[in-house]
Amino acid sequence: MKNCIKALRKARGLRQEDVAMLLGVSRQTIIAMENDKYDPSLALAMRLARLLETPVEEIFQLEEG
């Protein structure tokens, strides 16, 4: 699954550490999500969407396979 977390995070002036702290996850989790290495749970994706003030479906895009 592709995402635009990094661009949205930077547009809001947030560091990876900030997002991790606000979501209650590790910075490594944020790095993995930004690098398309980890797909978050639905609950985490929804909390991230709320934090970034962006609908989940605009943050994550399914890759056609």
Q: Angle 37-55-16 (CA atoms, 0-180°, nearest 5)?
A: 45
Spatial separation of the C-alpha atoms in residues 33 and 46, rounded to whole Å? 14
E strands, 1-65, in order: 2-3, 60-61
> pLDDT-based confidence at 63, cuts 50/70/90?
confident
The reported pTM is 0.93
Spatial separation of the C-alpha atoms in residues 1 and 61, rounded to whole Å? 6
Q: What is the pLDDT of residues 15-53, one digit of tens each?
A: 999 999 999 999 999 999 999 999 999 999 999 999 999
Q: Please tell me whether residue 26 adopts helix, strand or coil conformation.
A: coil
Spatial separation of the C-alpha atoms in residues 33 and 8, rounded to whole Å? 13
